[in-house]
Every structure is written in structure tokens, then in C-alpha cells.
Structure 1
Amino acid sequence: MTSKNNSNKVVDVVLIGAGIMSATLGVLLKELAPELSIEIFERLDVAAAESSDAWNNAGTGHSAFCELNYTPQLPDGSVETHKAVAIAESFEVSKQFWSFLVAQNIVGSPETFIKSIPHMSFVWGDDNVAFLKERYTKLQQCELFKEMTYSEDPKQLEEWMPLVMADRDPAAKVAATRMLLGTDVNFGALTREMLNTLQTKPDVSMEFNQEVRKLKQKDGIWEVKVRNQDTGDKRTVKAKFVFIGAGGGSLPLLEKSDIPEGKGFGGFPVSGQWLKCVNPEVIEKHNAKVYGKAAVGSPPMSVPHLDTRMIDGKKALLFGPYAGFSTRFLKNGSLLDLPLSIKVNNIRPMIAAGLDNIPLTKYLIDQVRQSPEDRMTALREYLPAAEMKDWELETAGQRVQVIKKDEKLGGVLEFGTEVVAAADGSIAALLGASPGASTAVSIMVTLMERCFPEQMKSAEWTNKLKLMIPSYGQQLNNNPTLAQQIRNETTKALHLQVTELV
């Protein structure tokens, strides 16, 4: 559908970026208020081609089952689990919403975007094994992690992940945890299905090759200046509410909005690459997502993992990601993205964060300088029998980590997602990266609570949300009966093949 240029027309909602965040928010709002008019603008020629694309994100279905950076070890040796529990809760919310989408035929067969795949954490060495055992012990106290199993037995680990254990030193101290409830999610496929259905709804349009150039609020209405990248034509779209869900491109647009809440934010871009297996025999021998520990000073997105993926119906095996640095904020962005994002209001936080993260800078420089042999050495820590002929380098997506002002430190580098909203709730932007897509539903619900507070408190919206997310308003980790009920229901609805559910 293509919207007509009517200078007097005011649409209810403009979504900038056709990724998982805009798709999720668009579907939620249209289900809650079918009368809303929505326009979606995407600068590329297809949906979900940046951070939401299957090759450009981890696709783990981030549930904190295997990502060790979500359970940091404290100075006293104990393990912090709060973030892991929060992420696991959020992923359960996502699964409930996706189950609703399937039931309502908003998306087709769940097999097109989600599959069961065990999530595993794997470590070696006395200190790391002690950490993993402590992590397992702490997580066993959390309802959402009760199904996790732990082993230091090499024979058991060989059954779980034969490729990882093949040719490994039998005397090495190793340990792993496993969650059969893990999933692999193709967020690109999910996003495109959601948007395809959303476009069929009344008063919804989505246009490609449209770049948003300026944002200005006038008399409570946002004027969104859009340029057609094919023809060069420019026009202004008026909107009551604007969501900036443009991945790495969100920061420059937030700056252009000139809202006070957006002052002081900066961005630190981190690029990535995968080693992709090209040998079908090797691919078939591995069936898990195996995560290890990140190197000291490395960003969380660089946690090494040997990852079974289902991409467009075909099984794939990736290792990485290998981090790098580019001044682009998007994979298809400009080399000027970073320098142009530096403003008077954020230069101090960015300098302070840079000085505070010199080990990260050194890590990224070392990563950029890696040779093919260096990358194979890293792979062989997880796959001792790996041969170079079986792997090729694949460019991954671009992430922009959030830099925010801090009264004491001047500026801090945040690894996560940040919702920035105007005081009047008329505009909001999503900054940051992991766990991102996996927790999109919770993030967008939180955004709506900030931007549509009265509607979210109404009985009409609350009741509709409970149809989409049955656990809405409740904590699963503190409610074993509800948690098991929800997991059983979503497992069935999403056609997941988990054999050890109660």
C-alpha cells in the first residue's frame, strides 16, 4: 500500500524502520486499537534487512539459558542472576505473543521462524568450571531455570555435543550446562510475516526506499520529513506519535528530534563477522547453541558461540562473532555516521566512556588485525578437529552500543537496550543491542506504558493484552504453576519439540 501525500492529513502512528521492533509495536497497537492509522518507513528496499536479519543477529532466542555475560561473577565469587531471570521472563512474554500471532493467523506456521534447539554453556579450566557450577547452583533456585542440567562428565558432554568434545584433551577439566527449552529464532522471517499481515489492515501503509531526514514537533504534532531514495522526492508526513526503531540509525534520528530526553546520548559502533561452515557433514553433527565465556574487555555481543541455526529452512552452523570496528551505525550506513553523531551535548559522555573502556578499544583493534589462522585458533578452542577448508568468513550485522551521560563518571558505555521517550509520550526511540529482538515484546509493552499511559491502564487495553500475553501483569519466576502452564501452552502452540516437559 502507498499513502497519498496529503499535507493536512495527520496519521496516528509513524514507525521508522521495518525491523522486529517496529513490527512488534505496530501489531500490538493495531490489535489494541484497530482504528489507528499507521505509516511505516524503511530506508532499504526490503524489511528486516539490518539487525533483524538472520545473518545479522545471534538468533539465539536470548533467554539467558546459555549466555554467561547475563550472570556476572561478583568479586566475592558469587554469581548475580537478576538480569538472567529478567531476560528469561521477557522471552517467555515473547513466546506468548508469538503464540497469539499463530493462533490469529497473523503469522503462518511457527516452523518458519522458531525451532527447538538445546542451549548450552561450555567452559574449561578450574576457575571457569567453578564459575559455571556456581552459576548452575544459583539458577536452580530460579523457577525459569529448573530444567537446566549440569555435567562435568566428558562422556555425558560427548553425547550432548560430539563435535565439541571430539579430539579434545581427555585430561582437560570441562563442564557444561544444557537447557532443552532453548530455541533458535529467525527474526527476519518473523518480522516480514508480521509486517505482511499488518499491511493488509485498514489504514496501514509501508513504504520502502524512504529515508527520514528530519523530525520536528509543531503544536503537538510531529512533522516527519521523508525523502524517496529512488526519485529524490521529498514530503512531510504529520503524526501524533513517532517510534524510531531504526536499529543503529536510531541515534541520529533521536538527535534530530531535539527532545530534551535525547540529550547526552552517544553511540559506539561494533561490527561483527562469523565463520560459516560449508561442509554439510560437519553441520549435521552439531545440534546445539554452545556458548562460552567472552574474553576480558570484549563486548557482550562477542561472546563466542558455536551455533546451530535454521535460516530459510536450511540448517547452518556458525562460529563467532568476531568483533570489529566501523564508524558506520548500520551495515548499509555511512562512514560518517559516528563523527556526525557527535554533538555538543554528548561529546563529554563519549570521551569519558572512551577513556573508561580502553581495554575494549584494544580488544577491537586486536580483532580487526586477526588473520584467518587466528580465527581458526579461536574456533578450535570449541571445535578441536576444525579444518580451515570447511569454513568461510561471513559479514555479520552492525551494533551501536549506548553511551549515556553519568553524573559521577561523565559517561558510561551500556550493553543493552534503552528506551528514550519524550515527556509528553509523543515520540520514543530504541537504542542499543543485545538482547534486543528476543525481548522485543516486553520492550514495546514498556514503551507503550510510557507513551500511552492512560490507554494501558484502561480495562479495554488490559483485557486485550491478557489475551495476547496471558501472564501480563504477573511474574512467572515467582509462580511455578503459572510458569509451567505457560511454557506447556507456548511449546504446543509454537510446535516446539521439547520432550522433557512436565
Structure 2
Amino acid sequence: MQNRFTFALCLEHMSKEDKNNGAEIADVLLIGAGIMSATLGLILKELEPNLHIEIYERLDVAAAESSDAWNNAGTGHSAFCELNYTPEKADGTIETHKAIQIAENFEISKQFWAYLLEKNLLSNPETFINEIPHISFVWGEKNVSFLEKRYQALQKCNLFEAMQFTTNPDQIAAWMPLVMNGRPADEKVAATKMDLGTDVNFGSLTRDMFNYLKDTSNVSLNFNHEVRKLKKNSDGNWEVKVKNRSTGEKKKRTAKFVFIGAGGGSLPLLEKADIPEGNGFGGFPVSGQWLRCTNIEIIAKHHAKVYGKAAVGAPPMSVPHLDTRMINGKQALLFGPYAGFSTKFLKSGSYLDLPKSIKLDNIRPMLSAGIQNLDLTKYLIDQVRQSPEDRLEALKEYLPTAELKDWELEYAGQRVQVIKRKPSGGGILEFGTEVVSAADGSIAALLGASPGASTAVSIMLDLLERCFPDKLESNAWQHKIKEMLPTYGKYLAEDNDLLKATRSRTSKILKIETE
């Protein structure tokens, strides 16, 4: 059994120089300048202020891919309104485990952001988080029944205690007048509402986090730099080959720990790392588009995130929603996303990304998953073939009086859904995130998408448990983590007084207090 990587080893050799270019070996090398790398970098820097951290991003700005506000399908996932997190089981009951977990994890994220503000590592919460009600809306007898059962099931958990439910059209119209305007008077409708909902601009948050991080000691942020190869050396460190995309210059860097947080680009890099734990993983790319409202009057009349039920065969990122967002200080209104298929793994990627990702160890799982998800493939093809009129008809289900002249098409980001190898050798398509780490903890990669950014802090805590177990158990790290996350090790869903106190504190700091 290999010795697990620990920061004790890391700090022991901080003075050692990289024999390739005379530069100090990096303690931590982060690939990708998105919300995941920003979160991990800040957590580690708070835990170990002397760490030497290097960040490499292939584009010229941070958060330009999946973390960007225009590319992110769900900004502020807290499971309040996303119906795909509460599926109806065969016996008619509602599964709430995932929704509770996501809601709990979002509270952890809010605690971390509140800590950053209290310590003046971030300055203005209004640049990245704003109070926006979260509403689930359905129509038709079957869906109304589902929503009521969902509401009753979630009421058993204190995290959702403040949720309101109604089948009264007048009440729903008060919550979202544009959605009810022009709708048949005899149509059966239902909605739930959580005033605790928020809109999070992860692009803005990520850039703010990196702006602080890059100005701290022993941290370098390198844009227009693409990681081309990764190889583990005999001494346990990682040799990373990097190319400057602006000048063409190539260099080698050595790091004791590598995190691959490159969104859709993580899978190819994991394959290049060639660790046994990465064998059998594949990826299924899904693209997206929005209809963006251009009419200022319409934008001003809608103030909510309204989520509905996904079409049969649709991936989670394609759950339709009429979504109020705050982008660059202005209110925006989006509808979608409309899913599509592209062989690119990144919005700025190559059409060869998918074929290049197919290897001997993952070809069977990928073929197996593809056969099992033919409905999804058909759905994506149908979405790609949609005309502007088709997209308008989908919008009218949520905004009956919508006119095409008030909306324009906006291209969203790329997602790569995880394909995992089953013990039988086949594969399964998973809609979530997956941390893949080496046995010795020297490298880790994040694959997948939703809920992603909203639960970034919890995902990084999982990574710390995998990759730095000894340091995580130390008194110093335990004390600091509890300072950053006061409820660390406790469950808000099991302690109503703690939940109320925590929400009250974080809401005040984040300036998202409800009236």
C-alpha cells in the first residue's frame, strides 16, 4: 500500500528546487481557474498560509467556462425548486435524500462565503449573491399531485420548513404575474415558493476569489497556459508540462499535489495522469442554449427562479426554468436551457474532444451507457433541430404571452456528464459530480456537473478527506475549518436551533435577509 500524500512531506521539502527550471517546486498546482480551483485554493491557503500554489488556466480570464453566469445552468442550487432532485419512486412516494443533502451543502457554501467577507477576503456580497425567491411551478392533474406530495415530504425536514404551497391561481399570480398572465382559467396549477432562495453569480464570485488569492504570498495565477501532460515521478511528485498559448513557450513544472478542476476538460487530463483510479471513466458532452429577454419592461416584471418538470429523457441541466439573474449589476431574465449535443468538452474546446477521450479502458462503459440512454440521445438531437418557433412554444408554457421579438438566443456552456464503469464491465451515465483521487492522495480530479458550483465547498471538504486525511485530523486544521465553517461536523437538518442561528448569521453577512 502506497503511503498517503500529506502536507508534512509537502512542508518538509518547500526549499527544494525544480531541477527542470530552477524554480521552487509547487506544493499545490491547480488546473483550471473556475469556482472549484478558487474554492480549494482559498481553503488550503487559509489552512496553510505558507503554501506555494500555482494556477494554470488555458483562457485569458477566470471563470470563462462553466462558472460563468451565462454558461451556468443553475445559479444557487439549494434544492428548493429543482424538481429533478426529488424523484417520484415506483410506489408513489417522493425521494428527498438528495434534496436534503444539497440544501445542507448550500448552507455550508454560504458559511464559507460569509467567512471570506468577515475576514475581508471578499468585499461586497451584492456582486455575487442576491435574494431571489425559488418557485416550483407545474400544471396538469398528475403534476399538481406530484408537487403536493413533494411539498409534504420536504416539510418533514427543517431545511424546507419555510416552503409555501398553493393551488390557488390568484396566489400564484401574486408570486409570478407574468407566468399566470394569459393562462387558461380552468387549468389546474400548483406552485411552491421559498423566499430564502438566492441568485449566485459564480463567475463574479470566482473572479473575486482569485483576485484575492493571486495577491497573497507564494501564489501565481497564469492565464493563457494550457496543461498538456502529467506524469508522476519516482519521488512521488508530479511533472506537469505547460504551454503558453500566447507565446508558444513550453515549460515543465513540478508539484507535490495536483488538482484537475478544468470542467469539461478534466476527463482528458485525468486520462493523461494515468492513475488506476481513473480507469473506466468516460464522458458524455451536453451543450446548452438560452433565450435571453431583451425587453427591459418584461425583465422588471419578473423576480423569481421558476423551475418546472423536465421533459422525459432530458438531462438535469435541461430542467426548464424562467430565471431572474443579476449579472454585472443588472437584472437579466433567461429561459431554458435548451439542450444540445456537441463533441466538444468545453465551450472553447475542440470537436475532437469526445473521440480523443475514448480509450481501451472506457470504450465498453461508454458504449454500454450509450445503448442504455438512447432516449437521451434522441432528445438531444431533437433539441438541436429546434427552430426559433419551437423554442418560443416551449417558452410560452411558462410565459403564455411571450413574443419572439423580445428574446434572443444565447449560447450557454458545455457539460460533460460522467460515465462510470460498473463491476460487470458495462457503464452507467451519472448526472452529478465525482471526485476521482489517487490512492496516495497526490492528485485529484473533479468530473461531472450539477449541482456543482453551489456545493463546491462540500466537494472540496470531501477532497481534503481523501487527499489530506492526516492533516485534516490535526488540531490546527480542525480549529481553522471550524472557524471557516462553524457547523462543520454537525447536521443542520438534525438541529433546528442551529439551522436558524446559522441562517440568521450568514444571511446578515451576505445581505440576503428576507423581509
The TM tier, using the shorter chain, reads over 0.9
Name 2:468's counterpart in structure 1: 452
In structure 1, the partner of 2:145 is: 130
Structure 2 residue aligned with 1:175: 190
Structure 1 letter corresponding to 2:495: N
The separation in 2 between residues aligned to 1:69 and 1:384, in whole angstroms, is 24
Q: 1:375 aligns with which of 364, 378, 391?
A: 391
Gap runs ≥5 in structure 1: none
Once residues 349 and 62 of structure 2 are traced to their aligned partners in structure 1, the CA distance between those partners, rounded to angstroms, is: 16
Deviation at residue 495 of structure 1 after TM alignment: 0.4
Q: Deviations over 1:337-364 (max 9, x none)?
A: 0000000000000000000000000100
TM-score, with structure 2 as normaliser: 0.96
Matched-pair contact (CA < 8 Å) for 1:12–1:36: yes
Partner of 2:307: 291
Cα distance, 1:58 vs. partner? 2.6
Aligned equivalents of 1:150, 1:430: Cα separation in 2:
36
CA contact (8 A) 1:59 1:187 kept: no
Deviation at 1:407, TM superposition (A): 1.9
Q: Partner residue of 1:282?
A: 298
Which of structure 1's runs of 4+ aligned residues deviate more than 6 A?
none
Please state whether the residue corresponding to 1:396 is helix, strand or coil: strand
User: Which TM-score applies when normalising by structure 1?
Assistant: 0.98
1:11 corresponds to: 26
Q: Which one-letter code corresponds to 1:370 in the other structure?
A: Q
Distance 1:10 1:143 in 2: 48
Q: Quote the Cα distance in structure 2 between the aligned partners of 1:201 and 1:372.
A: 48
Query: Does the residue aligned with 1:269 lie in a helix, a strand or coil?
Result: strand
Q: Give the CA deviation at 1:107.
A: 1.0
8 A Cα contact 1:60 1:184, kept in partner: yes
Letter in 2 for 1:170: A
Shift of 1:496: 0.6
The equivalent residue for 1:431 is 447
Residue 366, structure 1, aligned to residue 360, structure 2: no
Aligned counterpart in structure 2 of residue 461 of structure 1, from 454, 477, 501: 477
Superimposed CA distance per residue, residues 457-493 of structure 1 (whole angstroms, 9 cap, x where no aligned partner): 1111011001111100000001100011000001000
Q: Deviations over 1:6-36 (max 9, x none)?
A: 3463110000000000000000000000011
Aligned with 2:49 (options 24, 34, 40): 34
**Residues 442 and 467, structure 2, Cα contact 8 Å, conserved in 1:** yes
Q: Counterparts of 1:337 and 1:157 in 2: how far apart (Å)?
A: 45
Q: Partner letter of residue 328 of structure 1?
A: K
| AA partner of residue 410 (structure 1) | G
Q: Which amino acid aligns with 2:208?
A: E
Please point out which of 338, 342, 364 is paired with 1:322. Answer: 338
Deviation at residue 409 of structure 1 after TM alignment: 6.7
Alpha-carbon offset, residue 497 of structure 1: 3.4
- Structure 2 matches for 1:302-341, cutoff 5 A? 302-341=318-357
Q: Does the CA-based 8 Å contact 1:118-1:289 persist in structure 2? A: yes
Aligned residues: 497
Does 2:492 align with 1:476?
yes
How much is the aligned-residue C-alpha RMSD, in angstroms? Answer: 1.1
Q: Percent identity between the aligned chains?
A: 68
**Which stretches in structure 2 are left out of the alignment for 5+ residues?**
1-16
Give a deviation string over 1:37-61, Cα, whole Å, max 9, x none: 0000000000000000010003431
1:207 is aligned to 222
**Partners in 1 of 2:366 and 2:114 — Cα distance?**
41
Deviation of 1:186 (Å): 0.4
What amino acid maps onto 1:482 in structure 2?
L
Say if 1:7 and 1:238, in contact at 8 Å, map to a contact too: no
Q: In 1, distance between residues paired with 2:53 and 2:458? A: 21
Query: What is the aligned counterpart of 2:120 among 100, 105, 108?
Result: 105
What does the per-residue CA deviation read over 1:270-313, in whole Å, with 9 as the maximum and x for residues that have no partner? Answer: 00000000000000010000000000011010000000000010
CA contact (8 A) 1:291 1:305 kept: yes
State the distance in 2 between where 1:60 and 1:43 align: 24
Aligned match of 2:268: 252
Aligned residue type for 1:183: T
CA contact (8 A) 2:69 2:75 kept: no
Counterpart position of 1:191 = 206
